[in-house]
Amino acid sequence: MRFVKAVTSPDSPDFLPVPERIAVFDNDGTLWPEQPLIQAVFLAARAKAMLREDPSWADREPAVAAAASGDFDYFHREGEAALMALVAATSAGMTDAEFNSLVDEFFATSTHPTLGKPFTGLAYQPMVEFLDLLRSEGFQVFICSGGGMDFVRRVSGPMYGIPAANVIGSSLAKEVGDADGRTAVWRLPELASFNDRAEKVKNIALHLGARPVVAGGNVRSGGDIAMLTYSSEGPGPSLQLVVNHDDPEREFAYAEADRMTLNAAEKNDFLVISIKDDWVTVFDDGPPEPYELSTAGENR
Amino acid sequence: MRFVKAVTSPDSPDFLPVPERIAVFDNDGTLWPEQPLIQAVFLAARAKAMLREDPSWADREPAVAAAASGDFDYFHREGEAALMALVAATSAGMTDAEFNSLVDEFFATSTHPTLGKPFTGLAYQPMVEFLDLLRSEGFQVFICSGGGMDFVRRVSGPMYGIPAANVIGSSLAKEVGDADGRTAVWRLPELASFNDRAEKVKNIALHLGARPVVAGGNVRSGGDIAMLTYSSEGPGPSLQLVVNHDDPEREFAYAEADRMTLNAAEKNDFLVISIKDDWVTVFDDGPPEPYELSTAGENR
């Protein structure tokens, strides 16, 4: 709040004109939980549904069989190629509109395995309040997620007030073609961008053309360090936030073996948030709101 | 105005929720003039400056020499590769921040060769009014230009009220590196995307994840037909505008030999705007406003 006041008060030496008020946030572990990764739950659910509809998938694609049976060791063993095979089978070979329908159905019918709430009820309440504060002070707020851009876009509006167009994420290659006689965007079984580490900086340049003055990430894989550092190296005032997951009671507790993100935070003056000590509320405790399908975008 | 009222009145059968109110506009010939292409003037100015600083460019890159001397036949003769060589020499091999400074300097010091105004004073006034109307009714407004994304982003805010992040355009490949010890985005001498025809639809999917309900383009090359058609094929109400340049007195008059865009307009019910007959004002006739550098983005 001290930072926001400093950059928005007209007579402050740190005042920033409205167009420079740009904030980006990672999503998994920064705006909602990542234990388990929610998109991984989606992929597993999709694999199960595919096997039910067509049992021949079991022979045709071992990654589908492994995901459907919860054999996550398979993916650790087989590495990135196996994960990409799963993404290709579950999320490509269809139009954006078809994929969006699958994602909408998932969010409308699934709940978190241990937290007992729909995934769409799991936005971190203090972060939502911070996004609201930023927007009320003229900031443009974006997500820059390692997760699938199209996946996150379906819920960014209802959960965080972030329009689909303000979501940057990993993406598949696509091509423009035809579906039922109308122009359609087809999803190809090939990664166009894995939005992690330095790629996050590159995609921020592609989507925003700006060095954000606010950036938020979290401790887990070091995937946000490049983006946080980029934000911190601008010519003027800036703020970087790092969510540290240290609350096994209300959320989860996990750390990086190499302390990479916390080390970067110490070196570069990123502000570390302790979920345990700093957040009065983690999730909005009210009754879960009925999930409303995102009306943004390509849904028919 | 009839369309905007129909999709924003709560009791209208065509009512669209706010997140679905998405509008995209081509830039060259749709929001500002394209005789000559303003980015071509920039490239020529840049080529001249480079030759002045280092005469060896004349031998090293014939495209630079041709652009500096105004030999545009060279580019017609040599085709796309020559144009790309010019873009590479003038707009790559530097950071985004350096490129942005060059663009800012160009706009601060250049005027249109025949219209006698700074380029930043050449927004089509009726289009600016329409963008304002759309925004006041909850629309998100984007540019989807064949021009360079980073070039257009420097003026989209001051000229049209469109933030840099809402500009889609052609782009160079980039890589994240270092400049003076800070994280920087470097521009590579290689095209990442030429945002024309079907590629406009693909980049709309990448940047917005949505089928726009409003799209605007113009008659010249047929480059907007795919985007306009995509917009027109949504499940609900939509509006497509095509600017026809038929006013040699106040702007320019030119047509497509094959009438491709006008034919598509007839077939798909795009609304054709005659500059001559439909626009009371083409350019704001007031005294030119002093050009203010865009404060959005990566400028240092």
Is residue B23 less than 8 Å (CB to CB) from chain A?
no
Q: For residue A157, give Cα distances in angstroms to A170, B8, B118.
A: 18, 19, 39
CA distance B293 to B107: 9
For chain A, residues with pLDDT lower than 50 are 299-300
- What is the predicted ipTM? 0.94
Question: Would you state the pLDDT for residue A285?
Answer: 77
pLDDT, chain B, mean:
95
> Which of B140, B201, B235 is closest, CB to CB, to A165?
B140
Is the bond preceding residue B287 a cis peptide, omega within 30 degrees? Answer: no
Q: Is pLDDT of B277 > 50?
A: yes
Please state, in angstroms and as integers, the Cα–Cα distance from residue B115 to each residue in B45, B147, B160, B273, following that order.
18, 21, 19, 21
Contacts of A157 in chain B (CB under 8 A): 19
- 3-class SS of residue A57: helix
Q: Map residue B84 onto helix, strand or coil.
A: helix
pLDDT digits (tens, 9 = 90+) for B164-195: 999 999 999 999 999 999 999 999 999 999 99
CB contact under 8 A, A233 and B201: no
pLDDT at residue B217 greater than cutoff 80? yes
| pLDDT at B1 exceeding the cut of 90 | yes
Of residues A22, A140, A157, nearest to B19 (C-beta): A157
If one compares B290 and B68, the residue with the highest pLDDT of the two is B68
Q: Is pLDDT of B285 > 90?
A: no
Residue B133, both tokens: 């109307």
Residue A259 CB contacts under 8 Å (≥ 6 apart), including other chains: none
Q: Where are the alpha helices (DSSP H) in chain A?
A: 2-8, 38-53, 57-60, 62-68, 72-78, 80-91, 96-109, 125-136, 149-160, 198-207, 225-232, 260-268, 275-278
* CA proximity to A298, closest of A205, A147, A187: A187
Residues of A in contact with B20 (CB under 8 A): 295-297
Band of residue B299 on the pLDDT scale cut at 50, 70, 90: very low
Q: Could A165 and B182 be called an inter-chain contact, meaning their C-beta atoms sit closer than 8 Å?
A: no
Which positions in chain A touch B295 (Cβ < 8 Å)?
17, 19-20
With contacts defined as CB-CB under 8 Å, which chain A residues touch B264? none
Q: What tokens does A143 get?
A: 């997500």
Q: Which of A282, A31, A292 is nearest to A142 (CA)?
A: A31
B-facing residues of A in 216-255 (CB < 8 A) are 226, 229-230, 233-235
Cβ B164–A210 below 8 Å, yes or no?
Answer: yes
Q: Characterize B252-278 residue by residue with b for buried, 16 or more Cβ atoms within 10 angstroms of its Cβ, and e for exposed.
A: beeeeeeeebbebbeeeebebbebbee
| pLDDT, position B214 | 98
Surface of A (146-185) touching B: CB under 8 A = 149-150, 153, 157, 163-167, 171, 174-176, 182-183, 185
CA nearest A294 in B: which residue?
Answer: B19
Q: Do A257 and A232 contact (CB within 8 A), yes or no? A: no
Residue B51 has pLDDT above 70, yes or no: yes
Nearest chain A residue (CA) to B142: A165
Q: Please give the structure tokens belonging to residue A286.
A: 């009210």
Confidence (pLDDT) at B42: 98
Size of interface A-B (CB pairs under 8 A): 125
Smallest Cβ–Cβ distance between A295 and the set B20, B175, B199 belongs to: B20
pTM: 0.95
Please tell me the distance from the alpha carbon of residue A6 to that of residue A214, in angstroms, as a whole number.
13
CA nearest A179 in B: which residue?
Answer: B233
pLDDT, residue A94, reads 98
**For residue B11, pLDDT beyond 60:** yes
Which residue on chain A is closest to B168 by alpha carbon?
A207
Q: Report the SS3 class of residue A276.
A: helix
Q: Among B22, B140, B165, whose Cβ lies nearest the Cβ of A210? A: B165
- Taking CA–CA distances from B141, the nearest residue in chain A reads A165
Q: Shortest CB distance from B19 goes to which of A150, A183, A295? A: A295
Residue of B nearest to A158 (CA): B19
* Shortest Cα distance, chain A CAs vs residue B64, angstroms: 26
3-class DSSP state of A208: coil
Question: Residues 56-75, chain B: which have Cβ within 8 Å of A?
Answer: none
pLDDT tens readout for residues B141-169: 999 999 999 999 999 999 999 999 999 99
